[in-house]
């Protein structure tokens, strides 16, 4: 199964492509923004495709050729303003969902934010609310499709080394999770079709990732 990793050059994305390449039954196609970012992925033996997510849907859809599943782990990042939140976290997400539909790539895994509910929009501080709105509508768009989707809501991301142990459920207490473990959760979700049509929150915990995902 070939997995298009959108936002491959992000920290979760880099871990994920590595894990995918180490899996017997999976291979990665890393979607990156600049050719200069390719060497890390080429060293892992992964295919790369250069796409600007602000491009039009048809151009983006070309990257979906030969792909069996999509993971959206792109984000505008903490150093850009809410203009990029609108263009990447909302609009680019929707464009890739539409590209999945258009190209018949039915499996779509969205890396969302921990809480993207209406309640969260209302209680979020002004600096964070636009991001929650963007993720809220992107998640909503995906839920309303017929795609085989999974929406993953990780807790606060850290750069600590992953433990491979998490707590995952529809709702869990807010907490942290290493980016490496988020990548493991995505990998387990890709390998476990029982996650289709589901969404869940995930933080650091005491269950092995594979068991936590299988038990959802």
Strands laid side by side in the 47-50 sheet: 47-50, 27-32, 2-6, 69-72, 107-111, 148-154, 198-204, 165-169, 207-208
Exactly one of 126, 159, 171, 206 binds a second copy (CB under 8 A); that residue is 126
Stretch that binds a second copy, among 29-37, 126-134, 176-184, 196-204 (CB under 8 A): 126-134
Of 82 and 175, the one with the shorter C-beta distance to a second copy is 82
Residue whose CB is less far from a second copy, 34 or 144: 144
- By the rule CB under 8 A, 10 interacts with a second copy: no
Q: Is 33 helix (H, G, I), strand (E, B) or coil?
A: coil
List 22, 52, 65, 83, residue binding a second copy (CB under 8 A): 83
Rg (C-alpha) for the chain, rounded Å, is 16
Residue closer to a second copy, measured from CB, 84 or 191: 84
Contact between 154 and a second copy by CB under 8 A: the answer reads no
How many CA atoms lie less than 13 Å away from 1 in the CB half-sphere? 19
Which are the catalytic amino acids?
131
User: What is the largest distance, in Å, between two alpha-carbon atoms of the chain?
Assistant: 45
- Compute the least distance from the CB of residue 87 to a second copy, in Å: 6
Shortest spacing between CB 110 and a second copy, in angstroms:
17
> How far is residue 103's CA from residue 108's CA, in Å, rounded to a whole number?
12
């Amino acid at each position: 199964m070939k997995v298009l990793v959108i936002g491959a050059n992000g920290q979760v994305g880099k871990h994920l492509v590595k894990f995918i390449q180490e899996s017997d039954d999976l291979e990665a196609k890393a979607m990156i923004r600049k050719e200069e970012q390719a060497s890390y992925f080429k060293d892992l033996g992964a295919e790369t495709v250069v796409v600007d997510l602000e491009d039009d849907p048809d151009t983006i859809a070309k990257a979906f050729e030969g792909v069996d599943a999509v993971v959206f782990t792109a984000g505008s990042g903490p150093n850009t303003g809410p203009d990029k939140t609108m263009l990447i976290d909302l609009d680019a997400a929707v464009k890739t969902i539409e590209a999945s539909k258009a190209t018949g790539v039915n499996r779509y895994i969205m890396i969302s934010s921990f809480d993207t509910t209406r309640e969260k929009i209302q209680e979020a501080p002004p600096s964070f609310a636009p991001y929650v709105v963007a993720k809220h509508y992107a998640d909503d768009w995906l839920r309303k499709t017929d795609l085989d989707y999974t929406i993953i809501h990780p807790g606060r991301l850290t750069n600590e080394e992953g433990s491979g142990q998490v707590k995952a459920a529809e709702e869990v207490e807010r907490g942290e999770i290493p980016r490496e473990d988020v990548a493991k959760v995505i990998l387990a979700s890709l390998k476990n079709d029982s996650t289709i049509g589901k969404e869940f929150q995930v933080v650091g915990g005491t269950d092995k990732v594979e068991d936590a995902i299988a038990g959802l």
